């Protein structure tokens, strides 16, 4: 692998047993993302998008193959090391924001940074900067319930990028939003990912939004295939 790669999946296999039958979800999948590169993952339900994202995010282990995050190879790592690497190098955005309801927008972005070892002051400065960038400066003290769906998702994006990860993984990040809001949130995600040189892999059903990313891939017979 080149040192310059942010994320690389190599020969990744994943199968699930179900009674007598086995479902081969990933069957030697290969995928490389460079720093700052954005890739849309477009495939029908059940094709294995979530499985791929979980494996790329070190949440799930492949049955075979290797996941490189930056210069690190992860197959031989124990769970503790994988968790430590995930915390530093990978940010997640889901379809639903999963913000902590009792904390403000700012605090939701501060917490992961304090867990990573930053002081409250440093973390708050970075959180405010991210909120400003996302046009949410005036919402810093609001709790998630006081924010619109689009604002909640932008805070979730800021939280995912708070620790300046190498890789951003998003599973239908705008799937729960109306089209116009989805448009804004998706642009915010793409711009912030570019600005921070994070490699972004985004599962989406929205072809218009996917068209704005650097590359589009799909899953076919357990392999990652470029879409042209």
- Contacts with ligand ADP, residue ranges (CB under 6 A): 16, 18, 23, 25, 43, 45-51
State both tokens at 227. 């879409």
Query: Which residue number, 16 or 220, has a Cβ lying nearer to ligand ADP?
Result: 16
Q: Least distance in Å: CB of 174 to ligand ADP?
A: 16
Q: Least distance in Å: CB of 203 to ligand ADP?
A: 7
Q: Least distance in Å: CB of 191 to ligand ADP?
A: 26
Helices (H), 16-148: 49-56, 79-89, 105-115, 120-133
Query: Which residue number, 51 or 74, has a Cβ lying nearer to ligand ADP?
Result: 51
Query: Which residue number, 25 or 168, has a Cβ lying nearer to ligand ADP?
Result: 25
Q: Residue 200 in contact with residue 189, Cβ under 8 Å?
A: yes
Q: Least distance in Å: CB of 119 to ligand ADP?
A: 38
> What is the DSSP pairing of strand 223-226 with strand 215-220?
antiparallel
Query: Which residue number, 50 or 181, has a Cβ lying nearer to ligand ADP?
Result: 50
DSSP 6: S
> What is the DSSP pairing of strand 215-220 with strand 38-41?
parallel
CA–CA dist 48, 149 (Å, integer): 27
């Amino acid at each position: 692998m080149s040192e310059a790669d942010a994320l690389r999946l190599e020969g990744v296999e994943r199968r699930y047993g179900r009674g007598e039958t086995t479902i081969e979800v990933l069957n030697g999948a290969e995928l490389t993302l460079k720093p700052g590169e954005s890739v849309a993952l477009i495939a029908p339900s059940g094709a294995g998008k979530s499985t791929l994202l979980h494996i790329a995010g070190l949440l799930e282990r492949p049955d075979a193959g290797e996941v490189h995050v930056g210069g690190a190879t992860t197959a031989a790592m124990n769970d503790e090391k994988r968790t430590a690497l995930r915390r530093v190098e990978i940010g997640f955005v889901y379809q639903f924001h999963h913000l902590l309801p009792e904390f403000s927008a700012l605090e939701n972005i501060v917490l992961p940074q304090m867990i990573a070892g930053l002081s409250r002051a440093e973390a708050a400065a970075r959180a405010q900067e991210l909120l400003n960038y996302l046009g949410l400066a005036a919402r810093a003290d609001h709790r998630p319930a006081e924010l619109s769906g689009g604002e909640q998702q932008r805070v979730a994006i800021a939280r995912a990028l708070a620790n300046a990860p190498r890789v951003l993984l998003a599973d239908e990040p705008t799937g729960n939003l109306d089209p116009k809001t989805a448009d804004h949130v998706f642009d915010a995600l793409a711009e912030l990912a570019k600005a921070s040189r994070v490699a972004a892999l985004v599962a989406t059903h929205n072809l218009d939004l996917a068209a704005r990313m650097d590359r589009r891939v799909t899953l076919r017979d357990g392999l990652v295939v470029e879409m042209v």
